[in-house]
Structure 1
Amino acid sequence: MPANSTSSQPRRQRLRRRSLRVLAASAGLATAGALAAAMPADAHDNKPGHGHGHSQQSRYQDVQLLSFNDLHGNLEPPSGSSGRVSELQADGTTKTVDAGGVEYLATHLRQARKGNAYSITAAGGDMVGASPLISGLFHDEPTIEALNKLDLDVTSVGNHEFDEGAAELGRLQNGGCHPTAGCYTDKKFKGADFPYLAANVLKEKTGKPVLAPYWVWKKKDVKIGFIGVTLENTPGVVSAEGVKGLTFKDEVETINKYAKVLQKQGVKSIVALIHEGGLPASGNYNYDCDATGAGSGISGPIVDIAKNVSPSVDALVTGHTHNAYVCTVPDPAGKPRMVTSAASFGRLYTDTTLTYDRRTGDIARTSVKSANHVVTRTVPKAADMTSLIGKWNTLAAPIGNRAVGYISADVPNTGTESPMGDLIADAQLAYGKKLDPATSVALMNPGGVRAGLTYAASGAEGDGVVTYAEGFTVQPFANTVNLQSLTGAQLIQVLKEQVSGSNASAPKILQPSSGLTYTLDLTKSGADRVVTASIKLNGAAVDPAATYRVATNSFLAGGGDGFTTLGQGTSPLVGDDDLAALTDYLTANSSAAAPLAPPTTNRITIVQ
C-alpha cells in the first residue's frame, strides 16, 4: 500500500484532497494533499533540538506537532465546567481558566505555527459526534468545515465517528449532500481536506480497512508517518447500527503491523494517533506526569498500549478519556516515549517538538519535548471562524431558540444518580406508556447524558426557559426510545451488570425512572454491590418470574455499554427520537407559571 504524501506548498495554497475515498481504502489507496510552510527551513547544528540559523542544511530538523482530541463539534465556547480547565500554579495552588471555542483555537494554533517552517497538525479522534446543536443539527458538516479552516492535516477516527455509520463517515470525508436531509446551503458540502485514519476498522466482507490505515507527511527530505486507530471496544460504546458490517481489531497489533509497512517504505519516523486514553493522577492539565510521588503518573488502558506498541513508533497522540496529560511511558525496549492527550472540547492543544535526524530518517527521541497549552479566550477571535459560526447559527436559530419547557432550578448532570439522568428516564417512561400502557420502568445510560440544564439564561430566552438547543446539547445522539419485555430475573441481572462483567472496574450506573429503587453497597465487590433484596418497583419487590415492560434508548436496547441482558428482551417496539421524548415531557409537565423542579436523587441508596 503506497504511502500518501504532501507537497511543501504554503497552507493557503493547499489543494483539496479529493482523491480520498474513505470506503475504498485498500491496496493502492493514494491520498493527495498539500502541507505547507512559506518560510525556509530552520538550520540546526548537529545537536538534537538545537538551532543556530545556519544557511546550510544540517543533520537535525525540528518538526512541530500540534495536536488535540475529542472536539465533539464544540465550535462555540463550551459552557460551565465543560469550558474550563484547572491550572496548577507555581505556589501549589490551582486556578480555573475559561477555555475552548474554535474562534480561539484557530488563533492559538496559527500563533503557535509562526516561526515553525516544519509544522503538522494532527488529532486523536472524536472530532464529531455528541455535538452541540450548531453542528449536530447539520450532521457535523459545520465541524468539518471548521477543521478544514484550522488546517488539520490528519486525524484518527474515534468511536463517535461511527455514531451514524460508516457510510455517513464516508460522506464527511468525501463530501456530498446528506442522503435524507439533503443540502443545507446552496453550496454542496465538500467534505474533509484531511484524511481520517482507521487502521484497525475492517469491513467484515473483505477484511480490508474501511478507511486509510496510515498517511505520510513529507516536506523536502523530511517524512513522518501517521497510523490511526480507535479503541477496539468501539462496538461496546456505539449503537449496533453504527458499527454494522465492521470489525474492530486490537490497537497494538494493528499499529505494529503498519509500523512495519511504513518502515519497508523507508518511513522511519512514526506517530500513532490512538483514540484510547488514560487516567492522570492529577486533574490539573499542567501537572508533572513524570515526577515521583502523589499527583504524578498515569493509569488506564493507554499505559498497556504504550508499553507494547513497537519501539519504531516515536510518539503517541491519544484521546477518548477527555483527560489532559503529557507523559513518558517506556516502550518495549525500555526507551522513554511521549504519550499525550489534550483533554476535550478544544480547551487545550498539545505542542510537541519532534527532532528529525536526516542521517537515520528517525526521530531523536532523547530530544522530544511536549506541553499542553490552554486555548484561552483572551486572544483575538479568528474572523473566519466567527463568520462560519454565524452562518450556521443563522440556519439553526429558528429550531434551536424554540422554548420546549421551564425549570425552577439547575438540573445538573452530576453524581452517581444525577437529576438530569432521572429526568430523562422519567421522560422515557412517560413516552413508553404512550406506546404501551404496560411500560413500568425506564433506564438511561449515564454516557448518553451529555450535559445538564441550566436555569440561568444562555441567550435571550430568559431564566428557567429550556430551549430545543439546550435539550439537544443534553441528548444529541438521535437514538430512539425502544420497548422490550424482560423477566424480573433479567431486570435484576441488568442492574447487576452495572457493576460486574465489563463494568466491574468502571461501573456504569443506569439512571432509573421514578418508582424503581434499590441499594448500591460499595463496600462489597462485583455484582454483589447491587443488593438484590432491595430492588423494588413502585414499592413492591421485583418478582423474578414476572414480566416487565422496559423502556431504554436504542443503544442500550442493543446491549451497549456491557448490558448484554438488555439485548435479550422480547416483544421489541421501536419508538421515536429520544430527544423528542424529553422535549415532549418538558412541554407537557412545565409552564412559565409552574416550572418543573429537578428530580430528587433518592432512587438509588448508596452505602459506602
Structure 2
Amino acid sequence: MRLRRSILVLLPLLAAASVPFVISSCTGDDTLLNNNGVDATTDHAADVQADAASPVKVQILGINDFHGNLDPPVGSGGIIPAAPGDPEIGPDAGAKPRDGGTINDVPAGGAAYLAAHIAKLKAANPNTAIVSSGDLTGASPLVSALFHDEPAVHVMNAIGLDFNGVGNHEFDHGVPELRRLQYGGCHPDECAGGAADYPGASFQYLAANVDVAKDKTVFPPYAIKDFGSVKVAFIGMTLKDTPSVTIPSAIAGLTFDDEVATVNALLPEIKKENVSAIVVLLHQGNIPTDGTTYDGCGINSGVIADIATKLDPAIDVVLSAHSHQPYNCTLGGKLVTSAASFGRVVTQIELTIDPAQHKVTAKTAKNHAVTRDIAPDPTVQGIVAKYTELAAPRANKVIGRITGPLTRVQSGESNLGDVIADAMLAAAQKPGLLAKVAFMNPGGIRSDIPCAANDCSASKPSPVTYAQAFTSQPFGNYLVTMTLTGAQIRDILQQQFNVTPARFLQVAGIKYTYTGTTVDVSSIQIAGAAMVLDQSYRVVTNNFVAAGGDGFTVFKQGTEVTNAGPDGTIVDIDALTAYLTAHDPLTPPTLDRIVKR
C-alpha cells in the first residue's frame, strides 16, 4: 500500500505542541511539513456515555457547495423541491406549488438560517461532527468575494465546522491562497488593509487525492474525531476531474488521483487507528431524476453510484457534492447523500456504534430543509451584517434595468446565457478584435438575475445592481479572442454532447439546430450567413474555456489568441456591467439560437 502523507499540519496541533507558526509573507509560511491524517480529538469527552460498552450515538451534520452564500440566495438557486404536505415545511415557509402541484418550491438558505438549523440539530446530540464536502468558497456572491471569501470562513468558524473536504473551487485562486484561508494572514492585495488580521479557519481542510509531490498531499488526507469510546475517520477529497473544470495556472504542479483508489488505499492505515466508522467527504455527485424532492434519492446509476459501489465495504457513509442537487440514497451498501448547495439543506447522519466491536450497527440519513421561518443565528447574522455594510457602496450600485427576469437553465439555451454572450460579443467589437461569435460556458453562470419582488415589465423595469450581476458571473475571468475554422466550431458544438445531460454553450452571433446528440452542420449560421467549414472566424470566450475548460478541448486549437481589451484584459463582469448599462432597460432575448428538432 502506498502511504499518503500531507505537506501541511493543523495549526492547533502546532500550537498545542508549543511549535511556533509564523506567517512569513502575505501568502503564508512556505515551509512544508510532513504529516499523516489529523487526529482531531475534541472536548466532548464529558458528554460521552459513561458506560463504554453501551452503544454510542454519533451524529454527522453535512453541507456542501456553500460558495460563500452569506445572504439568502435568490432565484432558482434559493429554493428546494419538497413534497406537498412535508412536515418540515411549515405554513410560514413560503412554499409555492409547481408541476401541477406535485412539487412545492420552498425558499431555503442563508448563512444565519443555516447556522440556526445546525445549532438546533446539534443540541440534540453532543456527539456531533459538522462537515462540508467542498466548495465552501469560490464562485461566491460579491459580499464574500469582495473580501477574498474570508467572510465565508468566519461564518463556518462560528457554525463550528470541523472538516472540509476540498472541492474544485477551493483551487480557483491557487494553493497559496487556499493555504492562507486555512492558516490565516493577509491577502497579497491588502496587507495593509482590513484583511491583515484574518485568523484563518478553525476547521481543517482535507485533500486525500490532491498531490503536490509523490506521496505528499496539499492538506491531510483524513482526520479522526474522537467521541470518547469511539472514533470516526473522515476522508476528504475532490473529484479526479478537477483539472477539467479549473484554470490550469491555478493547479499547476498538482495531480488529482482516482477517488476510489485513493480511499481504498488509505483504509489499512486508518484501520490501525481503531476507528469505528469511516466517512468520505467527496466533492463529486449526480443529478437526480426530475421530481426528486430534497430528501428523495432519484439516482440509480452515474458517477456517484459507480464510486459508491467500488468503495470498500468498510466505508459507511459518502457525503457527496458538486452537482448542487439534494438527494438521500443507499448505494453499494453505503449511505450516499448531498445537501444541494448555498446552505439550502443540512444532511443529518445518525450512526449507532458498538464501541466494543468498533462497528456501526445502524445508520440513517435525512436531509433537512434550511427554511427561513425560524429565528436566524445572531452571531452569524452579525458577521453577515458587518460585511454587507462594508460591501454596500459597490454592491448596491444600479447598473441597468430589465423588463423581465434573466434566468439560467441546467441544460439548453437560457436568456441570461444569451445576455452574457451578447455582452462578451459587444466587448470584442473593437479594432483588432472584431469577433463574430461568442461562447460562454453554462457552468460559469451561477445565479439568476430576478426582478425585484418578482414583478417587472416593459412599463415597470426592475433595477439590476452590481451585486446581482456579479453573483451571476463571479469568477473574474477575462475575455479571450481567437481564430477558429468552421470545422473547429462544428467540433466544439458537438463536444456539448460528450456529457449527459448535454452541456450547452451559451452563444451569440451563431444559430444552429440539433437532433438527439447531433448538431445539424448545414443549419449553423454565423452573422446570418451559412457557416463554411474551411473559413476562419474570430470568436470570443473566457480564459477558462479558452484553456479547454469543461471539456471543450477544441478551443485549445485556436490561433491568433489575444486577450481582449486595449490594456490586455476585459474582465467578464465588466463586459456584462457595460452591456446592461448600454441597454437600459434590457428586454430578455427570445430563445431562438439553439433549436432542438
TM-score interval, smaller chain: 0.7 to 0.9
Shift of 1:463: 5.2
**Structure 1 residue matching 2:357: 3-state secondary structure:** coil
Q: Is the 8 A contact 1:6 1:218 kept in 2?
A: no
Establish whether residue 596 from structure 1 lines up as the match of residue 590 from structure 2. Answer: no
Alignment of 1:447-526 (within 5 A): 447-456=443-452, 464-499=462-497, 503-513=498-508, 515-522=509-516, 525=517
* Equivalent residue number for residue 542 of structure 1: 531
* Equivalent residue number for residue 245 of structure 2: 237
Shift of 1:369: 1.4
Q: Is the 8 A contact 1:25 1:211 kept in 2?
A: no
* Equivalent residue number for residue 79 of structure 2: 84
Query: Could you report, residue by residue, the CA deviation over 1:390-420 in whole angstroms, capped at 9, with x for unpaired residues?
Result: 1101111111111222222222223611111
Query: Could you report, residue by residue, the CA deviation over 1:160-202 in whole angstroms, capped at 9, with x for unpaired residues?
Result: 1111111211111111111124465275111111111111111
CA distance in 2, matches of 1:24, 1:476: 32
State the TM-score, normalized to the length of structure 2.
0.88
Alignment of 1:158-557 (within 5 A): 158-182=167-191, 184-185=193-194, 188-203=197-212, 205-281=213-289, 283-289=291-297, 297-330=299-332, 336-364=333-361, 367-414=362-409, 416-434=412-430, 436-456=432-452, 464-499=462-497, 503-513=498-508, 515-522=509-516, 525=517, 529-557=518-546
* Equivalent residue number for residue 12 of structure 1: none
Q: Is the 8 A contact 1:183 1:189 kept in 2?
A: no
* Compared CA separation, residues 283 and 27, structure 1 to 2 (3 A): farther
* Equivalent residue number for residue 140 of structure 1: 149
After superposing the two structures, state which structure 1 stretch, 87-96 or 122-131, moved more. Answer: 87-96
CA distance in 2, matches of 1:475, 1:186: 24
Unaligned segments of structure 1, at least 5 residues:
8-14, 43-54, 290-295, 331-335
Alignment of 1:35-184 (within 5 A): 35-37=42-44, 40-42=47-49, 56-89=51-84, 93-182=102-191, 184=193
CA distance in 1, matches of 2:334, 2:266: 18
CA distance in 2, matches of 1:169, 1:199: 15
Alignment coverage as a number of residue pairs: 560
Shift of 1:449: 1.1
Query: Could you report, residue by residue, the CA deviation over 1:240-286 in whole angstroms, capped at 9, with x for unpaired residues?
Result: 22222111110000011112211133334211111111233454435
* Equivalent residue number for residue 564 of structure 1: 553
* Equivalent residue number for residue 11 of structure 1: none
**Structure 1 residue matching 2:180: 3-state secondary structure:** helix
CA distance in 1, matches of 2:44, 2:461: 49
Amino acid at match of 1:350: T
* Compared CA separation, residues 29 and 179, structure 1 to 2 (3 A): farther
Shift of 1:57: 3.4
Q: Is the 8 A contact 1:146 1:385 kept in 2?
A: yes
Amino acid at match of 1:315: V
* Equivalent residue number for residue 45 of structure 1: none
CA distance in 2, matches of 1:206, 1:427: 44
* Compared CA separation, residues 165 and 402, structure 1 to 2 (3 A): same
CA distance in 2, matches of 1:103, 1:83: 14
CA distance in 2, matches of 1:394, 1:483: 38
Q: Is the 8 A contact 2:351 2:360 kept in 1?
A: yes
Shift of 1:373: 0.8
* Compared CA separation, residues 174 and 363, structure 1 to 2 (3 A): same
**Structure 1 residue matching 2:217: 3-state secondary structure:** coil
Q: Is the 8 A contact 2:22 2:29 kept in 1?
A: no
Q: Is the 8 A contact 2:510 2:524 kept in 1?
A: yes
* Compared CA separation, residues 266 and 114, structure 1 to 2 (3 A): same
* Equivalent residue number for residue 89 of structure 2: none
Shift of 1:104: 0.9
CA distance in 2, matches of 1:79, 1:286: 17
Shift of 1:375: 1.0
Moved over 4 A (4+): 1-7, 17-26, 29-34, 90-93
Shift of 1:435: 5.8
**Structure 2 residue matching 1:495: 3-state secondary structure:** helix
Establish whether residue 606 from structure 1 lines up as the match of residue 592 from structure 2. Answer: no
CA distance in 2, matches of 1:583, 1:6: 41
CA distance in 2, matches of 1:209, 1:353: 30
* Equivalent residue number for residue 333 of structure 1: none
Shift of 1:90: 5.5
Provide the aligned C-alpha RMSD in A. 2.9
* Compared CA separation, residues 23 and 491, structure 1 to 2 (3 A): farther
Amino acid at match of 2:511: T
Amino acid at match of 1:487: T
**Structure 2 residue matching 1:551: 3-state secondary structure:** strand
Shift of 1:438: 3.0
Shift of 1:317: 0.8
Amino acid at match of 2:547: G
* Equivalent residue number for residue 579 of structure 1: 573
CA distance in 2, matches of 1:435, 1:144: 44
CA distance in 1, matches of 2:433, 2:114: 50
After superposing the two structures, state which structure 1 stretch, 140-149 or 545-554, moved more. Answer: 545-554
Query: Could you report, residue by residue, the CA deviation over 1:125-153 in whole angstroms, capped at 9, with x for unpaired residues?
Result: 11111111111121111000100001000
Q: Is the 8 A contact 1:25 1:209 kept in 2?
A: no
**Structure 1 residue matching 2:197: 3-state secondary structure:** coil
Amino acid at match of 2:476: A
* Compared CA separation, residues 581 and 435, structure 1 to 2 (3 A): farther
Unaligned segments of structure 2, at least 5 residues:
13-17, 87-100, 564-568
Shift of 1:457: 6.0
CA distance in 2, matches of 1:312, 1:18: 36
Shift of 1:536: 1.3
Aligned-residue identity in percent:
40
* Compared CA separation, residues 105 and 281, structure 1 to 2 (3 A): same
* Compared CA separation, residues 287 and 154, structure 1 to 2 (3 A): closer
Shift of 1:327: 1.3
